[in-house]
Amino acid sequence: MQKYIIRRILQAIPILLGVSIIIFALTQAMPGDPLSHMMDPNITKEDLESAREKLGLNDPKYVQYFRWLGELLSGNLGFSTKYSKPVGDLIKERIGPTFTLSLLALTIALVFAIPIGVYSATKQYSKWDNLFTVFAFAGISIPVFFLALVLIWLFALQLQWFPSGGLTTPGVTYEFPKNIFNMLYHLVLPSMTLALLYMASFMRYTRSSMLEVIRQDYIRTARAKGLSEKVVIYKHALRNALIPVITILGLSLPGMFSGALVTETIFSLPGMGTLSYNAVVQRDYPILMATNLMFAIWTIVGNLLADIFYALVDPRIRYD
Amino acid sequence: MRNKPNDMRSEEILKKNKNKTTDKELKTQQIMSPGRIFWIRFRRNKLAITGTIVLLILASLSIMAPWIAPHDPNTTNVRYREKPPSAEHPLGTDTLGRDVLSRLLYGGRISMTVGVVAVAISLSIGILLGSLAGYYRGWVDTVIMRFTDIVISFPFLVIAITIAAILGPNFRNTVIIIGLLSWTGTARLVRGEFLSIRERDYVEAAHAIGAGEGRIIFRHILPNAMAPIIVSATLGMASAVLMEAYLSFLGLGVQQPIPSWGNMLVAAESLKALQYQWWLWVPPGTAIFITVLSINLVGDGLRDALDPRLKD
């Protein structure tokens, strides 16, 4: 087991390097170089050339790549000219809202999706199962931004129950713990949007995984022992059915980040998604590269954790 | 269609036996073509049939847009801006006085074209890389699969808007970006199929009679892996239409004045339009939703009909 975990971690390293190479290649493909944005137009060609030389922009590409990688590893993510701040600081400010939103949405989604998935599997093709199936199809087919707009229209504009955007009420500062409640209140609609989206797929995964498990021999054995249906389903079947869902959770991370980007943009939440989006609009490339890198690293680490967790809880699979 | 015809045959015979089967009928059933078996399975799925019909209607509306659209989609009319639906403009006019219904019909052409072309690109890449990895195994497999892992690690929207910022957002680049980022699933799928099919006797037989590698890959293995590929292409088309909508909604996909369902929804970013001008955002949003839903239903029906192993 220990061997497997170590091997799995080692496997992640070339992927991380590959990610960094792609991001570096994208930086190189960008129009202009750092100097073309900063210098005044009256500068002479010779001065520009010496500045390029000094910054190492004339070095071979691979030298520049390793220099950049070295900076990254020492924690330097670059400097944003638009915000006049190190990119690392900006990301630190923005991580909070994105994680709160994602975790909130994911929790809501799982709390509903797992029981519904179990119910659908135990009552396959029943009226409710069919209804949930239709709901799941709708959920994977609706564009997040359209869902968000409908929710804003209904709950923010018509009923006026929740705010239509932002993370805090503008112009008011609350003391602890009121500020937390104010933030949660602002996060209701965005997290509902994302939760509905995640729910659709997790419901389906739980259902199919559950259907697979309840056909297994050990479930028949459990029933034959005279255990109640409740114990069979929730104790014996569900435990095993949830294992593949963990992997799916890891695999859905990139999709979840994409969803968060759109949701944050529509609800103008100050998270990583809006940071990337504004960076695109303002052509702030250092930020863009850093956010791409962060999202990719989170995805890789998320998948790594999911795999390791899978190996820990499923003794049927031998990894050697 | 390995060993599927068999169980299909017995299934059908059992069903037919209830209404007394003659020997002659049995004989005709035994030589049912794969296409016929597929159709018998597919038509049982009501949702899939509904999806197919809706999709056909939407596709023909889009194709016929130049003939059925009441107005030119790009003619602006400053004196007739943001007007609610009327007999003249069944879905009202937008902020520049353009007819929303006409833009919706033309937008369908754009959105569906993006979907089809992007899927064609991603399928070509996915099939090529997947079959190379699955057929040659060894280091070729390792290199291709690690590369797939790398591409999969980037959340689509974040990397897509980055590339759009570099290449410049327009119709062609939208298609390229979606195609280049969505082949990973197909590649993994094709690789898996190849790994199992390459071990079969008929592939060995092909080797034995001296068939070349290209022939074995494209004539012997690939056709037998087609069922799951078709399913994943259909579902891929659904997500390509969604991706185009996302990119265009964020202003980094298809650009004005070319109408696309995604960029039409940009109108709803103003709370005024959202609250008082439903005709600006409900029609394009619904169009995307219905289209993607129909494609997903068709894809699910195809999966059940072509590849029952994949069923829940």
Angstrom distance (rounded) from CA A286 to CA B176: 24
Please list every residue in chain A whose beta carbon sits closer than 8 Å to the beta carbon of residue B300: 137
**Which of B162, B178, B290 would you mutate first to test chain A, the one with the most A CBs within 10 A?**
B162
Tell me the shortest Cα–Cα distance from B294 to chain A, in angstroms: 9
A164/B contact by beta carbon, under 8 A: yes
pLDDT at B36: 81
B176/A contact by beta carbon, under 8 A: no
pLDDT at B309: 59
Q: Print burial letters for B235-247: b (CB count within 10 Å at least 16), e (below 16).
A: bbbbbbbbbbbbb
Phi-psi group of A78: left, alpha or beta (phi > 0 → left; psi -120 to 50 → alpha; rest → beta)? left
Long-range contacts of B193-198 (CB under 8 A, 24+ apart): B193/B130, B193/B134, B193/B221, B193/B224, B193/B225, B193/B228, B193/B229, B194/B130, B194/B131, B194/B133, B194/B134, B194/B135, B194/B221, B194/B225, B195/B134, B195/B137, B197/B221, B197/B224, B197/B225, B198/B134, B198/B135
The helix-helix angle for A2-29 and A285-313 (nearest 10°) equals: 160
The mean of the pLDDT values for chain A is 84
A231/B contact by beta carbon, under 8 A: no
Side-chain half-sphere of A217: how many Cα atoms within 13 Å? 0
Tell me the shortest Cα–Cα distance from A16 to chain B, in angstroms: 7
pLDDT at B55: 92
Q: pLDDT tens-digit profile of A271-300?
A: 899 999 988 888 888 888 888 998 999 889
Q: Measured between CB atoms, which of B146, B157, B262 is closest to A261?
A: B157
Long-range contacts of A53-58 (CB under 8 A, 24+ apart): A57/A33
Please list every residue in chain A whose beta carbon sits closer than 8 Å to the beta carbon of residue B236: none
Asked if B285 and A143 come within 8 Å (Cβ–Cβ), the reply is: yes
Quickly state the pLDDT bin for A33 (edges 50, 70, 90): low
Weakest-pLDDT range from A163-167, A206-210, A216-220, A228-232: A163-167
pLDDT at A39: 55
Average pLDDT estimate for A244-254 = 84
Q: What is the largest CA-CA distance in chain B?
A: 77
Weakest-pLDDT range from A85-94, B49-58, B72-81, B109-118: B72-81
Angstrom distance (rounded) from CA A262 to CA B247: 10
A29/B contact by beta carbon, under 8 A: yes
Is pLDDT above 50 for A314? yes
Average pLDDT estimate for B105-134 = 93
A86 vs A45, higher pLDDT: A86
A311/B contact by beta carbon, under 8 A: no
Tell me the shortest Cα–Cα distance from B290 to chain A, in angstroms: 8
Element of type H or E holding A122 = helix A87-122
Q: pLDDT tens-digit profile of B22-56?
A: 555 545 556 677 788 788 888 888 888 999 999 99
Average pLDDT estimate for B193-205 = 90
Using alpha carbons, list the distances in angstroms from residue A108 to A111, A162, A167, A194, A195.
5, 18, 19, 9, 6
pLDDT at B21: 47
Predicted model pTM: 0.85
Say how far residue B150 (Cα) sits from the centre of its chain.
24
pLDDT at A3: 83
Q: Print burial letters for A241-256: b (CB count within 10 Å at least 16), e (below 16).
A: bbbbbbbebbebbbbb
Quickly state the pLDDT bin for A303 (edges 50, 70, 90): confident
A148/B contact by beta carbon, under 8 A: no
pLDDT at A215: 86
Specify whether the CB–CB gap between A303 and A253 falls below 8 A.
yes
Interface size between A and B, measured as CB pairs under 8 A: 130
Average pLDDT estimate for A64-70 = 85
Specify whether the CB–CB gap between A300 and B153 falls below 8 A.
yes
**Which of A134, A149, A253 would you mutate first to test chain B, the one with the most B CBs within 10 A?**
A149
Average pLDDT estimate for A27-53 = 69
Please list every residue in chain A whose beta carbon sits closer than 8 Å to the beta carbon of residue B166: 26, 29-31
Please list every residue in chain A whose beta carbon sits closer than 8 Å to the beta carbon of residue B159: 292
pLDDT at B29: 57
Tell me the shortest Cα–Cα distance from A296 to chain B, in angstroms: 5
Residues 6+ apart with CB under 8 A from A313: A243, A246
Angstrom distance (rounded) from CA A58 to CA A166: 44
Tell me the shortest Cα–Cα distance from B166 to chain A, in angstroms: 6
Q: pLDDT tens-digit profile of B256-305?
A: 888 899 888 888 777 777 888 888 888 999 999 999 999 999 988 888 88
Give φ, ψ of A127 to 5 degrees: -60, -45
Q: pLDDT tens-digit profile of A125-155?
A: 888 988 998 899 999 999 998 999 999 888 8
Asked if A143 and B293 come within 8 Å (Cβ–Cβ), the reply is: no
Q: Measured between CB atoms, which of A152, A257, A299 is closest to B274?
A: A152
pLDDT at B288: 93
B234: which 2 tokens?
């259909």
Asked if A211 and B246 come within 8 Å (Cβ–Cβ), the reply is: no
Phi-psi group of A198: left, alpha or beta (phi > 0 → left; psi -120 to 50 → alpha; rest → beta)? alpha
pLDDT at B28: 56
pLDDT at A87: 86
Weakest-pLDDT range from A50-64, A202-216, B192-206, B262-276: A50-64
Tell me the shortest Cα–Cα distance from B19 to chain A, in angstroms: 26
Average pLDDT estimate for B9-30 = 51
Average pLDDT estimate for A19-23 = 91
Is pLDDT above 90 for A111? yes
pLDDT at B5: 44
Is pLDDT above 80 for A190? yes
Q: What is the total residue count of chain B?
A: 312
Average pLDDT estimate for B305-312 = 62
Q: Measured between CB atoms, which of B156, B265, B268 is closest to A258?
A: B156
**Torsion angle, CA of A58/A60/A62/A67, rounded to 10 degrees?**
-40
Q: pLDDT tens-digit profile of B82-94?
A: 777 777 777 777 7
Residues 6+ apart with CB under 8 A from B85: B91, B92, B279
Angstrom distance (rounded) from CA B220 to CA B213: 10
Full DSSP string of B200-221: SHHHHHHHHTT--HHHIIIIII
Asked if B154 and A291 come within 8 Å (Cβ–Cβ), the reply is: no
Average pLDDT estimate for B109-124 = 93
ipTM of this complex prediction, to 2 decimal places: 0.85
Angstrom distance (rounded) from CA B158 to CA B165: 11
Instruction: Assign 3-class secondary structure to A136-174.
Output: HHHHHHCCHHHHHHHHHHHHHHHCCCCCCCCCCCCCCCC
Q: Scanning every residue of chain A, which has its alpha carbon at the shortest distance from the alpha carbon of B165?
A: A280
pLDDT at B7: 46
